[in-house]
Structure 1
Amino acid sequence: MRWKALPRSLDPQARQLVVELRRLKDHSELSLTSLQAKTPFSRSSWERYLNGNAPPPRVAVEALARMAGADVTPLLALRDAAEENWAAAAVTSAESGSAARSEARSVGRSAGRERDPEPEIRVAALSLAAGALLLSAITSVLLITAPWREPTPETGGAGVGKYTCAYARHGDQLFAGNSATTSRLVMRNATGPDAAEVQCLLLRHKLSPGEVDGYFGARTEAEVKRLQRQDHVPADGMVGEQAWALLRHVD
């Protein structure tokens, strides 16, 4: 399927979410009509979600991940962060509309209309409420998207922060002590033990994902792609069953 260009107004996290959902849709080989038949959402709703025109509900993300055989946890984290940004943008738009209406009333009064103070009070209250909502949304985004920024004392070993790399070999597979998965999908903006395990294993392959902080950022993604290119497999930067096999393999 040939995808439309995403709206320029999308923030980076919303854009990344839509890109990941498109990948899963392509991987599942389901058409929009099939998605309508297999989920509670219409074909037009899926078009809006996959073109970045509306935030997808959690149920929609879970359904698509299930049909594509992907781990839904990092997708939901990305979706929640993106939804906060969508909400913040909506509040900003509402504030802009209120300011425009207030300016129009001021122009009308200057033209000789009778002064009516009551509408001004209502606009001020709306602006204050919108500002509080916007501050709350931005704070939530920071808490969701940057949990790794909190200072944590080093716990020793090869890791930094709360994660360490305690390598152990089991047969021809290598484990770093953070996660034992061999198939769970881990991708850009994922956080937690699976992401830390990826970073530790990248280090053992003499790659440079940066600090072992449990955040699958741009640097970690770039090194996953590098490993995939070295082994001549599609370099999509996502760690699924095939990439886990590469990371855990030991000679």
Structure 2
Amino acid sequence: MPRIKPLPDELDPLAAQLVVRLRELKTHGELTMRRLAAGTGYSARSWERYLGGTSLPPRAAVEALARLTGTDPVRLLAMHEIAAASWDIRRAESPGEHEPEEQRRSEDEKGERREQEREQGQPPRRLPHIALTAGVLALTVAFMAALLLVLRLDENVAPAAVATPAGTAATTPPHSYLCRIARTDGRWSAGINNGRDTEISYGDTGTDVAEAQCLLRRAGISPGGIDGMFGPLTLRAVKTFQDRAGLVVDGMLGPRSWKALRG
């Protein structure tokens, strides 16, 4: 396992809260950078920057990671919204210190520049208007209060609907299915996909996946949530079941694996 690098000291605390949570989801889902890139549509290099704290991930990337790991995105997106606002405030306070990564100087060069400024007696940069400074402080206090409310939410309690700003697409929480385990004519069924044995594999979604998740849970193997998404936890559960049943451990649910699940 690669050693987790510490976050930059200058990283905004609200952004650091978000990055730590994204790292936890990556670790819990046992995702490599390659699988993370394949499952979200964002490159491994981009995720290195996001998880390293050198670049704030876009909202769509955060939502894609929540979907990939089977996590309710509402609380995660609220944390991202607060971090993004604070990130923008810091950019306004220090407009010359947040250029694109490829144009940034090395840490040594930055240190030399600071030393030269101190030696020349240059005054620190300040915002030109007192009203703008007051507005920035007021926004910071408001977002800190919102963050405290978000962090107090119990993750096991269904969150209330979050108002979506104008011009922003609403986020639909992941669907959940109810397992109705029954045995008919010697075959187990969860009552979700009408008894189909459709071949499914990693990345698939829908009722066939939810049916398999219910039957895996009946067999004593947890696939995570019953959400109809064939993600990392479901993949691990399928492989565990195949190994116990003496089947080929390929992570795909084909006719033989379905037969063993329903048997």
- Asked whether the two chains share a fold, i.e. TM above 0.5, the reply is no
